[in-house]
Structure 1
């Protein structure tokens, strides 16, 4: 679970739309239709080198335990593989594990592939897996994936190629989590020797993926080279080398893409959609995503802690207009903070879909209903503050839209811009949230599963339950859903909880943003869905 806490610092369908934008010449021109696809045409040949942009900037580390943002995931998942693979529809398939079996509610058995080797030629062992997973439970390491292991009692080697995980309480979400960085495997010997430098420009990595870390020039680029001894011959990389360059300025990035100086990017600038769609240099693809734009209530008391005020603000914002104005049509309104792609690959998808369909649709503004809620709430003050990270234009637009909507229902919402590091602190330090009622933020789910997001917002004492939300029925159903090993029964418990907590608007979710992938015409093969965030996507990129 990721909430984006700054412009480059992180703690976040089969549909066609038409977006309009100003064209060149005398009048406006219609932009090409936005059609969602899960992947791009498969590559048929090799390429010598690919230059790829990281618009979120240089990663701080590629250590899976410290991989918690767009840049680190975009690079690192091509190096350090996970036990499961994340497919483009957010289903999972075997990865470094040939099988993972829920033996009983408190026991998961992981069977490893035979014949897998690290880049240095040494075999992948059960000891490496026990070490890699156990690292997340070390409080001194402060792993970003520590929450995934909260219910784990023990991780032990039970065979040469077998690892058994025992739980204190059943955890339905644990196995899907192994398709992301929480399940990424590193070599024990190398990692132990590297110590705190592991995963950095000076410490390096030792993993099993289709690419090796070949170089890291701080402030300039990260270079990967093909792993020619990769264990999966069908998944061998088609590019001999990948250069990841750090381009955080949208105008500079767009110019580089249009000029062919950069071959591709995930998260192409929203403001450049029309220009990239018209380009002869390549093609802009849109894919299903788990990324969301939200307003988060961060106060445990005061107006933002009252669900009626949150509901009123939700009703005052036209989500369809938000998608058109802020996302340039490259998104869709959402009914709650867990996007449908997260459960698309679940065997209980129909249960989740029905539960989502039954949620109230607030995509269109209803000012009369919103004003009525404000009157009923009779807040102690109508002057509120919404914080955003300075420099993030999309979130500034989001906050400005919220400000205008609030004004129409009798609330004065002041926008406060904070430096990215200060904004990031709001997520962890209650003291820093004093005097702030809401934050404008984005987020994403990097692994499948409806249960990856919700517990963090609705359970008492959870990391993102900033309003001290409490509902015994919701708690019972979420805990029951996490503990239930039957997918359909778990989904039923989740849906029952969602029907109650979604209307409380703990996060006022405005929209889901489509994944935006630009590829130069000389390459193809990259997945277009947001699954790239946890998959070895670069191995698929090659010549058309």
Structure 2
């Protein structure tokens, strides 16, 4: 799985948002409180410059192979395009490839779009595509997207504008992955010459997107300007330039938005929702998202390795109250970690929807059932440790709520705050997880596909199978789902696996948060859905 925690790589968690443009969330009184929209009104004119905040801080790199968090995606997807495009409803459409076709179970054929040029005027070629995809397979590069190519046997140029990918075993998730940064294309000649500096402030970039890198002042701003020779005239950027500025302090960010010093932000602070909604400076939009909040079990032994303890903790937490207190109403409880939004564009949507609906609903707390599970499990110890990243108030609240819930069912929880870099290391370094039972974390899916997430948690030896979970039936069904090129068969096998691993609560998924977009009243056009994470969203931003 590709990492997605802000400080490094991350958990890709999902969200149960099925609302489209115009959908509404309702408060406890039944009155509408939040309207979910996929996009904002279209821009009516051009603007000279837009200043955009990066609440997760400055990215370390804009190289697609090293793009693994919110900030890098927010900037980089406007520069380096992918073979497929991610649309606002989380469907895909042709991008730098006019088609990506599953020719047979182990062969995918990519038809590269002709007439596309890089920023320097040189043409996009099949060789550039082969190079861009192949570099994720280079272990010395340590690409964040390496997992996407784990089953690939070869990537070859098979025509002037054709690339063929052959697999050791079928992988139906590969094609939708091409709508995200794993499918982003860079110029071979430029990247080869830049070496390790590629994608950094000193090494630069060479891509095909609607914006091109114009300057990078470390710690201050990343500047991009419009690519006036962009190949798709229907999506030419309306803004002449964007300045992306890191603003990690929520109070400072909110003040800058309210004062009009910053024009917009994705991931507006949850604690500032009320103030931003009252603002006369701009508008706060809420959109469908795949972001989630969860408690991840990270120990292969001890109490949390027992599914009954995980289930008990899940039952002890009131998810509706969690949405109100932590997300300020801007979210929904979830049943499991793969969201319905992930399969909304699938021809097997009804099968996925039915499977999700059949999962147990634990959104309301049931303390008696939780206590019974703890008694049955009879753990050798009842003390647990939850780790959180220092400085993240929402995740600290999450851990504190879990701590209070655990106390009511006979468990004692200690909350341990770690520095962001140390916390990020928990995802990959077993040594750092010693003495920790759970992590409070956020995450997201960046492309469609029910199989983007689950294999990484339920298969033996998978990178996020921290509890040592193993079920032969689940394994057989997930492997079959990944291999089945018939969408209905794949969905049926996935649903069968989910029916077993879902209740095991490998992730205690609490809620999905709506995407929060704030726009100054002078601009409009930005997607309101979480699709921005893998799309050239900034090209749509222009004058209101």
TM-score by length of 1: 0.97
Q: CA deviation at 1:9?
A: 3.2
Q: CA deviation at 1:2?
A: 4.8
Q: CA deviation at 1:50?
A: 0.4
Q: CA deviation at 1:488?
A: 1.2
Q: 2:83 aligns to what?
A: 83
Distance of 2:463 and 2:27 partners within structure 1: 37
Cα distance change, pair 343–285 in 1 and its aligned pair in 2 (3 A): same
Q: Deviations over 1:98-155 (max 9, x none)?
A: 0111110010000011100000000000000000000000000000000000010000
Q: 1:155 aligns to what?
A: 155
Distance of 2:108 and 2:265 partners within structure 1: 37
Distance of 1:121 and 1:158 partners within structure 2: 24
Distance of 2:492 and 2:205 partners within structure 1: 42
2:28 aligned with 1:17, yes or no?
no
Q: 1:535 aligns to what?
A: 535
Distance of 1:530 and 1:352 partners within structure 2: 21
Q: 1:349 aligns to what?
A: 349
Q: CA deviation at 1:31?
A: 11
Task: Check conservation: 1:3, 1:442, Cα contact below 8 A.
Answer: no
1:323-362 equivalence runs, <5 A:
323-362=323-362
Q: CA deviation at 1:344?
A: 1.2
Distance of 1:262 and 1:349 partners within structure 2: 40
Q: CA deviation at 1:173?
A: 0.2
Task: Check conservation: 2:9, 2:144, Cα contact below 8 A.
Answer: no
1:259-338 equivalence runs, <5 A:
259-338=259-338
User: Partner of 2:170: helix, strand, or coil?
Assistant: coil
Q: 2:390 aligns to what?
A: 390
Q: 1:143 aligns to what?
A: 143
Distance of 2:482 and 2:504 partners within structure 1: 21
2:211 aligned with 1:219, yes or no?
no
1:385-464 equivalence runs, <5 A:
385-464=385-464
Distance of 1:145 and 1:292 partners within structure 2: 21
User: Partner of 1:290: helix, strand, or coil?
Assistant: coil
2:103 aligned with 1:103, yes or no?
yes
Q: Deviations over 1:306-336 (max 9, x none)?
A: 0000000000000000000000000000000
Cα distance change, pair 447–394 in 1 and its aligned pair in 2 (3 A): same
Distance of 2:115 and 2:238 partners within structure 1: 22
Distance of 1:2 and 1:182 partners within structure 2: 10
User: Partner of 2:490: helix, strand, or coil?
Assistant: helix
Distance of 1:255 and 1:511 partners within structure 2: 28
Q: 2:15 aligns to what?
A: none
Q: CA deviation at 1:8?
A: 3.5
Distance of 1:538 and 1:425 partners within structure 2: 32
Q: 1:24 aligns to what?
A: none
Distance of 2:260 and 2:186 partners within structure 1: 35
Q: Deviations over 1:58-93 (max 9, x none)?
A: 000000000000000000000000000001111100
Distance of 1:300 and 1:8 partners within structure 2: 24
Q: CA deviation at 1:19?
A: 5.5
User: Partner of 1:398: helix, strand, or coil?
Assistant: helix
Distance of 2:377 and 2:233 partners within structure 1: 62
Distance of 2:57 and 2:335 partners within structure 1: 31
Distance of 1:539 and 1:347 partners within structure 2: 30
CA RMSD for the aligned pairs?
Answer: 1.4
Task: Check conservation: 1:19, 1:328, Cα contact below 8 A.
Answer: no
Distance of 1:503 and 1:416 partners within structure 2: 27
Distance of 1:233 and 1:398 partners within structure 2: 45
Task: Check conservation: 2:3, 2:144, Cα contact below 8 A.
Answer: no
Q: 1:124 aligns to what?
A: 124
Q: Deviations over 1:326-367 (max 9, x none)?
A: 000000000001111111111211111111011010000000
Distance of 2:436 and 2:186 partners within structure 1: 41
Q: CA deviation at 1:424?
A: 1.2
Task: Check conservation: 2:112, 2:126, Cα contact below 8 A.
Answer: yes
Task: Check conservation: 1:115, 1:231, Cα contact below 8 A.
Answer: yes
Distance of 1:214 and 1:424 partners within structure 2: 30
Q: 1:366 aligns to what?
A: 366
User: Partner of 2:239: helix, strand, or coil?
Assistant: coil
Task: Check conservation: 1:54, 1:248, Cα contact below 8 A.
Answer: yes
Task: Check conservation: 1:335, 1:360, Cα contact below 8 A.
Answer: yes
Task: Check conservation: 1:2, 1:443, Cα contact below 8 A.
Answer: no
Task: Check conservation: 2:25, 2:32, Cα contact below 8 A.
Answer: no
Q: CA deviation at 1:10?
A: 3.1
TM-score by length of 2: 0.97
